[in-house]
Structure formats: C-alpha cells, structure tokens
Structure 1
C-alpha cells in the first residue's frame, strides 16, 4: 500500500483536488441560482432548471480554462526542466498530461449535456409563459418590457416567437448550437478506433477547438439569463409577488428591473488561450527553421531512418519531436521518439509504416535519386518524456514493444558514448532491456546497435552492466524448426547476438523477482514504450514487487505518452 501511494498517490491526489473543485463550483453556483432573491422571478418561470443550467456553466468555465494547458508541449517541457530539482514524483505528473486532458474533456462533455438539456427546458417554459399557459405572475413577468420604460425578463418578445426561432437567432442560442456541434465532433473523432485508423479525421476535427473557443467567448454576451436589479430595500419581495396591481404604485413595489449578467467566460479562458497562442507561434517559428538531411536509410521491415541536422538543436535521451511534411499535409504534425544520442552531431528518427502519412513519406523517400535531399521537413521540439529520467535510477528496466524500442535506442547509444569516455559519470549501475516483437524482421534494424554494445561492454569488462532479452511473440512452425536446427550456434539465428531470442511473452513475475533478487536495496525505474495493456501489467508488478521496507527494492513505473 505504501509503495502504491508513492507510485500513484500524487496522481490521485491531483484528481481528487480537481474533482473537489468541480463539485464545489457546481454546488456553490447551484445554490446561488436556486436560493438567490435576485433570481426569484426568473425561477418562478423556469423552476429548478435555471440552477441546473447555470451550475454546469461554472464548471465548464473552470474546465475550459484547463483543457488547453496539458497540450502545450513547450510549457510542459519548461516545467519538466523546472522540476528537475523537485524529485521524480513531481515530474511524473507531467507524463499524465494526455490522461488529464481527456478527463477534463469528458467533464466538459458531461456538463455541456446537462447545461444544454436544462436550457432546452428553459426555452419551453419561457415560451409557455409568454403564451399565458401558466399563472398570472408568469404571464405578467413575460409581458414586462413591452413598454418603453420597462426591462424584459423573458427573451420571447413576441407571441409569434418559437423556441427554434430564439435558439437560431439569438447570440446565446446560435453560439450554443455551434459549440455543442463542435464538441460532439471533437469527442467522437477522438475515440480510439477513429484515432488509430483514421488519424487525419481526428487531427482535422480536433482543430474545431478554435471555433469552440471563439463561440465560447461570445456565448455569454447573449445574456440570456437575467436577474432582478432593484431587489434591494425598500423592495418587499414577499409582498410584491402576490400583489401585482401595486407594481409601480407603491415604493416597496417598483416594477422589477432585469438585466443579463456580465459575461465571465473570457476571463477564465483568456490566459490559457494566450499561452496556447504563444505555443503555436513558437511551433511556427520552428517550422520555418531550415532542416537538412544528413542521411536517409530504408531499414528492413519498412522502417525509414532519417538523420537530420538543425541549427541550435539540443536533445536529451528519450525525447521526441513532431515532424511535418508540407508536401503530404501542411497541417499534420506527428510525434516520433528520437533514436540518436545527445552526444551525436545530428538527431535521428526511425519511422515505421503505420498509416497514410508514414506510408506516403516512405514512398516519397523510396523514389528519391541517390544522394538527393528528402522533402522539406518541419521539426518541432525536442520535448521531454519519462525516459529522460532513466539515469536518475540506480537500476533501470527498459521495456519496448515493436517500434516502441525507439527511446531506448537513444538511451543505449548514449550509454555507449558515455563508456567511450575513460571515466563515465553514471548513477545507473545496471540496465535490464526487454524488447518484444511480433516478427523476426522487426529486430533487424536495431540488432546492429545491440551487437556493438555487446562487444563494447565485454571489451571493457562491463558485461554485467546491460542485460537484454529479446522476445519474438509471433512465429510459425517452419521458423521454429529452423531455430531448433541452429540452436547450438554461438550466436542467435534471428539477431546474430550472443543472447538467444526468447519465444512467446515474458513471464513478468519471474523477471521482476529476478531483478529484485539481484538488486536487494536498489531503486528501480521501470520504463515502457508500448501498449496500454502491457502498461497495466507492469504498473501492477511494480506495486507488487516493491518492498514496504524503505531500505529494500522499490519499483517506479514510467510510461511514454504521445
């Protein structure tokens, strides 16, 4: 339990605080509109639906303030650098940025639904009151504003007005429709199945957030909900509501004066909007900077390696960049973890064919004449990830699945460069590396790096520093027979490495048990770049195999998120 708190405690604490603020705002504003005297007459027409419309609006303001911040990548990288002195637990929270972004989005979706449904009821009740279908007070209130010296409460100013007419002709109505449609499209296109299979649909639809925020800022200017302005003494609310004939005749019963509230949404969202605008401006500046190709290599398994050079570009291990190729799409930016080490004078990415964009890029490069420069490439980054913290741990477990090996290529290369120095300054004394692949060809482009590392470690008497295990998770019978025939060879038949390839999936119980036994007092960082299902397994194993005794082995789980 103690280590669960260490691993996940701060994350859940932040979520609890966020939820508590949401609940407080909802309850606080609900009772303002449900009990406030200034809304007495408004409530008489609308009932509790008034509070059910306005309380979610307050929660929406708060969450719309938050929604942009987790996707300001440069801001997060700046914070990550600022938190270097604050311990790994604080920095880990920044790796949950997309999870928090989704959580806030779900709250916005829920509150929008409540807000919209309540206002639909409000429109119906405003309409019925104007038509005289309720009591005398409702009808009188709805007729206010017909004379020159009066202010109105009911937005239906004519008996011929219909709810549909009001919704599509008022500022609040039309912007509300636009906001809701944008939100529906954004949320539905963000579903996993669409994002994975039709990324372009997700990408373009997500940019409706610009229309969403524009509509959001304007929405409150409609001032559709109005409150009584002359509620102060000598106004006698209890007496006036029952004696309509005395309105305007007695000093304690002046004709009620109504006005819409000052729009406040822009005050909540203006700060994050400015920050995001600066973020996009910085991305544009980076996009305009020249990027040159040092080398272009088509690796086995349709993996494209790009070695790029850009003035002033500095990276750290495990970081990622966003790439844009205007010849394919001027708007699409895709994240790729860098496979180069900080010690190199270029930065590289390995790109697997995994969708329309990557397939088009690989096809363009394949058609280039020998020695030619590739298509114009925009580079935004680098950005920090959990893998930056690898060297902060005494012992690290690196787990890559398929192309998810890329951040660890950067880390292992950097280790190789560090050991080329006579006295490498490394806090890390042991690394366990696990790579899971479905087919043998996926190993090919990375095996050469492991061969160099294997040889280098042995020459320096550091063979125990790096323990790596490769797992082939999919194979056929003919391949299994071929492996059996060559089993006695010194090197592996698949990779050419001395470490033989394992078949099937790792027994994580056994692996964690081994790491704990070999490092009885260590703090172990477990890093994954791979699927969510594997993340759940490893996170649970980190909790299970961490000892409650602070002097014994502790496992900390970290996952790459894009």
Structure 2
C-alpha cells in the first residue's frame, strides 16, 4: 500500500524520532523517580515498603513465572525490619545506578549518530551501535532486578522481545555467513577517475533470488572482520551453477571503501561475505507503468538494477514510460556500464536514459573547458535536429535557461551518437514532459542522493502536482527517497 511504502520511505526519520522519544521519556522517568520514588523511600518505614514491594511477598503469592535476580538486588529485598532507607539509598540502588548508565548509553549513541561524527568517524558510529545496543538491553534487564513493582519478569523482553530476537538473529546469521559461506569476487573494474569501482560477486545457490532495487550487506574480512556495509545491487543474473552473479557499484569516499578499491586493483581478489538482499523502495519500480529514477553519482545504482532487469526481459515492451536520470561530476563514469547501455540499445523499447555531466564551474576545474568546448558543437547539433523536426529537439533545450550538451560516440559499443547533457536537469520541466506523455497514468519518482537533491526533486513533484490540479488533470506525482547515510 502507499501508506506502507511511505513508512518505509521515511524509516531513517522514524528511527531518529524514536531515539529522541526514548531519550526524552528517560529524562522524564528519571526526574519522576527523584521527586517521587526516592523521596518516598526516605519518608516510609522498611515495614511499609515491604508491604508495597512485589519482591517482598511470600513465594506462594508471587506472580507466575516470577524471575528472581537476587544476585543483582540492592538494597536486598525484603528489607530488614530495622533498615534505615533514605533518599541516596534509592539513588545508589540497582535501579538508580542502571538508570544513570542507561542515560549515558543513550547519550553516547546520540553523539556517535550525529552527522558530524558519523561522516568523520564512521567506525566509531558503527562500533558504538554494535556494543552499546546489547549493553542497553542488558542494563534494562538489570534495571528491574530489584523487582519492587511489575510482573516479576524483565519488561524489556515483553515489550522489545521481537526486535531483540531479530537483532540477535541478524548478528548470528552474519557470523555464520562470515565463517561458512564466503562468496567469490569474479571481476572488478574501476572508472577512469578511480572514484567508482564495479565488482561482480558469485553467490551460491543458498541465497534467495535478488529482486530489482534490493541491497545487500558486504563484509571483507581482510579489511575488517566485523564491519558490514550496505550497497545496492546494480545487476543480478543467474549463472550456470544454479547460483547468481550480482554486481555492485561502489564509490570510494571513506577508509573502508578506499581499502576495497585497493584490494580489487590486482588479479587476486579478496574474500567477500554477503548478507541476504533486503527490501528497498525501488523494489516497487517494476509494478508501475510510468516511473522515473533519479540518481546522483553512485546513487544511480538502484536504477541500474532496474535497467538491468529491463535489459534481461521484455518488461520494457509492456511499460509505457520508464526514465532514468544519471548525474555525475565525472562524465567518464558513464563508461563503466557500457555493457548495460548496449543491452538496452539492442533491446529497444520505451526506456530512456538521461545522462547529465555536472562538472565544477568555479574556474579551477576542467568543467569550464568542457563547457566551452561543448557549446558550439551542441548548438550546431540542435540546429540540425530542428531542421529535421521540432519534436526531435530534447526537452532541456526548452528550459528557461537552455542547457547544452556533447554528443559522445564512445559511450555505446555500437558507437551510436549519445547525448550527454552539461548541467543539472530542470526537474519540473522534465517531470511534466514525462507525465504529459500519458495523463492517464500517475508518475512514480524515485530518488537516491543527498538531502539537497532530495529536497529539489520533492519540491519539483509538489510543483507538478499543483500544476496538474490547476489544469484539471487527475495525474499525480508520487515521490520516494532511498539512501543509506
């Protein structure tokens, strides 16, 4: 359903919201203990407290399944008749100490998850999560060890038992895969600028069939035995042994990905472990008639997976409109998937790839020379297109500020001229043109990129919806966003 898709689409925001909610609720909970529970301990006698505490009841009166953790109880329960319990006995009790430790754990997780720390020290972010999340669960169990109130069983198990079981299963499965089910890297190729690396991995028959747009976690033991990183599967096909050949396109932006690129530079490729393909928003792309995929840099990989499925089947013949926009600061990145473009060219159909080179325009990069060299060539090409038919002139030539492009003969193996646009697309103009090709169908727009790109495309979809509403059209533009950062 659309509601479920939107929930999956904003999973990161829900995760962040839940974390803030846990922190705020914990602070309120702690404050309530200080003004309520701990002050009540000081004003109440031990005999009265024993009557109120569940842990002080006769064993025959305890709730069914009562779990006694007397080893961790402080103060001991039931309280001695002559015990003098005060405010600081509550502060230094097992619930008090574990409560403060829980607050420290939550604050450390929040600090490590901040954008600044996550981008600069990803390994700190990664390790904090994998050590502190289990610690948080253990501390919550100990937090209720005194058994003053409640069911006599760790409430965290009842409330969060399913997520804890799923987390434990995931960690156990990855340990099993790392030791007993290694996969094989068959080929690796770098882009001309060295920023992107494309690797092909052979999976055994034990893995389920990969679907369009899914992602998998990769572990390279020679780099780090415990680090797993998510990457979108850009292509998948069956091999002769009954397994699968899957392709990843990875950008070297950090220490781990740089080491991966270096490890794949020679002829002896490293051992690799793969954790099952997982669902992503782009999985729903084949279900719709009119779809648009927009990726910046390595963010195009979910849509390359979609293109790969079209190249290997006849789906594109049944589809009315399928468009993929690929923006890259390095135009030579497009050469990394010449084989995929060749398959699409051979098959034909209604799939359209829009390649946009977005080099630097600050006067220091090669982008300025690229801009200057392409201007006259492209203007001449447009004049010739217009002379044949005005309908053959590309959409971006009609922008408020028209872009120009170069015509490449080396991107396709057939050497058919292919247009590479210089500059970013005008998404409102492009999406309206795609939608108006068939106003009976809704347009489903998928984006994989940074927050700036996301906001720009989301704004464009809103503008397109307002334009159609004012024009009396029923067509709507639906937006989905995918990212791992």
What TM-score, normalized to structure 2? 0.76
Q: Residues 431-455 of structure 1, C-alpha deviation per residue, up to 9 Å, x if partnerless?
A: 1221122233433323x24641563
Look up the match of 1:293: 185
Deviation at 1:296, TM superposition (A): 2.0
Look up the match of 1:80: none
Whether 2:424 is the aligned partner of 1:530: answer no
Whether 2:431 is the aligned partner of 1:512: answer yes
In the TM superposition, 1:97-496 aligns within 5 A as 97-122=11-36, 125-126=39-40, 130=42, 138=43, 141-142=44-45, 144=47, 163=88, 166-168=90-92, 170-207=93-130, 208-223=132-147, 262=152, 264-287=155-178, 288-302=180-194, 303-312=196-205, 313=207, 314-342=209-237, 345-366=244-265, 368=266, 370=267, 372=268, 374-419=269-314, 427-446=318-337, 448-449=338-339, 451-453=341-343, 455-457=345-347, 460=348, 462=349, 464-472=350-358, 474-475=360-361, 476-484=367-375, 486-487=377-378, 488=380, 491-492=407-408
Q: Secondary structure in 1 aligned to 2:223?
A: coil
Deviation at 1:396, TM superposition (A): 1.0
Gap change, CA 1:450 and 1:382, over 3 Å in 2: closer
The structure carrying a bigger strand percent of its residues is: 2
Deviation at 1:551, TM superposition (A): 7.6
Deviation at 1:347, TM superposition (A): 0.6
Deviation at 1:531, TM superposition (A): 1.4
Larger Rg: 1
Gaps of 5+ in 2: 57-76, 362-366, 382-405
Are the aligned partners of 2:50 and 2:79 in contact in 1 as well (CA < 8 Å)?
Answer: no
The CA distance in 1 between the partners of 2:281 and 2:107, in whole Å, is 32
Gap change, CA 1:341 and 1:261, over 3 Å in 2: closer
How many residues of Structure 1 are paired with residues of Structure 2 in the alignment?
A: 415
Look up the match of 1:232: none
Q: Residues 418-440 of structure 1, C-alpha deviation per residue, up to 9 Å, x if partnerless?
A: 24xxxx57542211221122233
- After superposition, the CA RMSD in angstroms is 3.4
Look up the match of 1:19: none
Gap change, CA 1:535 and 1:155, over 3 Å in 2: farther
Gaps of 5+ in 1: 1-86, 131-137, 227-259
Deviation at 1:147, TM superposition (A): 11
Are the aligned partners of 1:468 and 1:499 in contact in 2 as well (CA < 8 Å)?
Answer: no
The CA distance in 1 between the partners of 2:28 and 2:420, in whole Å, is 55
Are the aligned partners of 1:96 and 1:561 in contact in 2 as well (CA < 8 Å)?
Answer: no
Deviation at 1:469, TM superposition (A): 3.9
Are the aligned partners of 1:293 and 1:308 in contact in 2 as well (CA < 8 Å)?
Answer: yes
Deviation at 1:126, TM superposition (A): 4.9
The CA distance in 1 between the partners of 2:375 and 2:82, in whole Å, is 86
What TM-score, normalized to structure 1? 0.66
